[in-house]
Chain A
């Protein structure tokens, strides 16, 4: 039986009014501006852009503020917003080799063209709370030095010796897929998997990446390099017949180098996992590259023995907007469903008690005899 339920409009309106009040907080404090969120909570903004799969720093900051700092709520809001806009087209692929590098580190080579550039990193900080940030103390200007040579890609160094697989080619005749246009299907090709991972939940990918390190689908990884910086986005203009720059976006790229594979046809060489994420997000890019490599079981004829290698499991559960929608819907009214369950369990209970009391009477009779 389906029972339509009405009511609650006034409660909902007042709840949203209360939410607006709590979001604003103490009126004696100045309200935070979008520019302040962009400038001072930049990595929160980056995470929202990456997982909403929409690059726009101002809109992501607005979402963070609207969501009171709840990241998944902010991601949800921004993801919903993108559905209201028309699609103008596909960009030319960004060229990460020509990135304006703000950070680049390699765990495989100490001395390499371009060097180890630490950039604005949390690494080597002591992770001690800094009380000086409570009082708004003046911050020193960054140090400067003469820039060095072009920051060469680590994979190109290994590639020169033929010791590492290439950058990743899809099979002949493969048509690039787009998750936002077609429903998911498994098995899923690597290009689509990378699209799903790029917008996947950072925590989920981090946990899966960690699981591979702990032995659940081990891949023996080294960080070939992580680089963060700006790349140019170019769009082909059919009116002109050539591509023009729309500006630059900041991305984080991770080239994971994994233990060798070889076959009768191919000499042993390192394999690779790839991570590319909007904004500055090293943890996410590294996790993505580990999971990308773990998922390539079909290419290397590896047995699927761990969750991180199971593409249907990984891809189906990586999207936190989908996940939160399904988990959180449980709190919405399920009155009728629950009533049906309640009736059922009462009936089962009656049957159980009837059978049991018959059983007890029989036992007592047997004991008496």
Chain B
């Protein structure tokens, strides 16, 4: 059952955590373009998947209280190993296994010493697109903010 409390959590690697979050939101076109642009394509061996399954999404009672199960979401994931032995994990919402596999490849590439430039360029592209989209949405929402004005009543 719930074993979250029992697990020994190691401190997250903030760089990799952020990179994986960005890869989870990459479009297939972005990933494919980055893969096609790789001059020296690595040899990739599958370790697990790609496969699609479910993650039970949890919420918190009252927004910040104890957790409860809200409902499931489809998730696709893949684990791969490069011939240079780096292991990469890709996991993202939805049923697109191809995206999960490519995300895993770039996760592995991000750990390979030296040649990190193509991965960093991809991450930058994804990050910039997301920032643009989020900014745009925030601006559209802001335009629907109510500005109240108060009518002064009475003589003075």
Contacts and interface: CB of A to CB of B under 8 A. Distances in A.
Interface residues of B, number: 64
A97 interface: yes
A170 to B, nearest CB: 5
Interface in B48-95: 51-75, 77, 79, 87, 89, 91-95
A147 B69 contact: no
B58 to A, nearest CB: 4
A73 to B, nearest CB: 19
Best-buried of A50, A119, A142, A245 by chain B (most CB within 10 Å): A245
B63 A153 contact: yes
Contacts of A268: none
Contacts of A170: 61, 66
Contacts of B89: 237, 239-240, 244
Interface in B103-156: 134-146, 148
A100 B138 contact: yes
Contacts of A103: 141, 144
Interface string A181-210: 100000000111011001100000000000
A90 B55 contact: yes
Nearest to A276: B59
B61 A90 contact: no
A82 B54 contact: yes
Contact of A118 (B24, B75, B144): B144
B7 interface: yes
B75 A235 contact: yes
Contacts of B66: 168-170, 174, 176, 191
A174 B143 CA distance: 44
Interface string B5-43: 001111111001100110011000000000000000000
A176 B2 contact: yes
A53 interface: yes
Contacts of A153: 63
Contacts of A86: 51, 53-54
A102 B74 contact: no
B55 A191 contact: no
A94 interface: yes
Given A89-B55, A244-B91, A191 B61 contact: yes
B60 A93 contact: yes
Interface string A106-120: 000011000111111
Interface stretch (A28-36, A214-222, A247-255, A326-334): A247-255
Contact of B13 (A111, A192, A240): A240
Contacts of A199: 71
Contacts of B134: 100
A91 B92 CA distance: 12
B82 to A, nearest CB: 16
A96 B74 contact: no
A53 B71 contact: yes
A238 B79 CA distance: 13
A176 B137 contact: no
Nearest to B77: A88
Contact of B140 (A143, A174, A242): A143
Contacts of B93: 55-56, 233, 246-249
Contact of B63 (A87, A145, A253): A253
For the complex of A and B, list the 3 residue pairs with the smallest distance between their C-beta atoms, beginning with the closest: A168-B61, A167-B62, A241-B10
Interface of B: 1-2, 4, 7-13, 16-17, 20-21, 24-25, 51-75, 77, 79, 87, 89, 91-95, 134-146, 148
29 contacts: A54-B54, A82-B54, A85-B53, A87-B54, A89-B55, A90-B4, A90-B55, A94-B60, A96-B60, A97-B63, A102-B141, A103-B144, A116-B146, A117-B146, A119-B141, A144-B136, A145-B139, A145-B142, A168-B61, A178-B69, A190-B68, A194-B61, A238-B7, A239-B87, A239-B89, A242-B13, A244-B17, A246-B55, A251-B59
